[in-house]
Structures are given as structure tokens and as C-alpha cells.
A = this chain, B = another copy of it.
Amino acid sequence: MIAKELTIGELSERSGVPSSALRFYERQGLITSRRTAGNQRRYHRTTLRRVAFIRASQSVGMPLSVIGGVLGFLPEDTPPTREFWLRASACWSEEINARIEKMERMRDRFTECIGCGCLSFEQCVLVNPGDALAEHGPGPRRLIEP
């Protein structure tokens, strides 16, 4: 038989991701599907990998928008190359490391600040944080420009 396509139910069961979430991912452009004559979705088998990548990336804290950006480099109907995985991995690691460092700085400042009892609006970096909410980084440059 020719490579079997998956219905949304099958993809859902095999990935453990609810159909509603899969439809949501598709609306967001993270996955794509063919439609049958009756307007039902049929997924290429490689979509399983894409979904796995999405969930794994989410589990390390990546927002869907960024994941989508990276998946844009992955051709829809071919299995991802080993190189893709390696670059994605490097990219995520970098992001995670940046976040860890930021949290470490925060923790140290907090302890310091509390320790000296200075919690006031004029002096304290924590209370008037400049970079505290600067979450919108440049994203996966490494993957975009290999």
C-alpha cells in the first residue's frame, strides 16, 4: 500500500495531542493538511514528527510563534533532516540558556535587594526593571542563517 495518510483522529491518538489542538496548530500555520473530497483533513505521516517537535519545543517553554518560525524551514512533505534537528537543538539551547541566565541575575538581585532592606522605588532595580519584561528576543537567528 502507498504511504498512509492520517485522519485527524489518528494523528491525535498517535501523538497524544487533542484534535482541537491540532486544528489550532493548523490555523496557526504550524502544520498543514490535504483535504478529501468531503472536506476532511488528511495528514502526511511526517506531520507526526512536526507535532512531536512542537510539543517538545513547547515543553521547554518555546511559544508557538517561535516554533512556527523554525518549522517554516522544514519542508512539509519530507522527513526532517538530521541537520535540522541539530540546528533546532542548538537554537533552543541558546534560548534556554539565555532565560536561565536572566533568572539567575534576577534571583541574585532579589536576594541582594531584600537582604539590604532597600526595597524602595527609587533605588531598587527590581522594582523598576528595565529588562524584566523584555521577552521579545530576535528569535532563531542561528537556524535562519546557518
* Chain A interface residues (CB < 8 Å from chain B): 14-16, 48-49, 52-53, 55-56, 58-61, 82, 85-86, 88-89, 92-93, 96-97, 99-100, 103-104, 106-107, 110-111, 113-115, 117, 119-121, 124, 126-129, 132-133
Contact = CB atoms under 8 A, between A and B. Distances in A.
26 contacts: A16-B121, A16-B128, A52-B119, A52-B121, A53-B119, A59-B106, A59-B132, A59-B133, A60-B103, A60-B106, A60-B107, A60-B126, A86-B115, A88-B114, A89-B114, A89-B115, A93-B107, A93-B110, A96-B106, A96-B107, A96-B110, A97-B107, A100-B100, A100-B103, A100-B107, A103-B103
How many copies of the shown chain assemble into the complex? 2
A16 B93 CA distance: 35
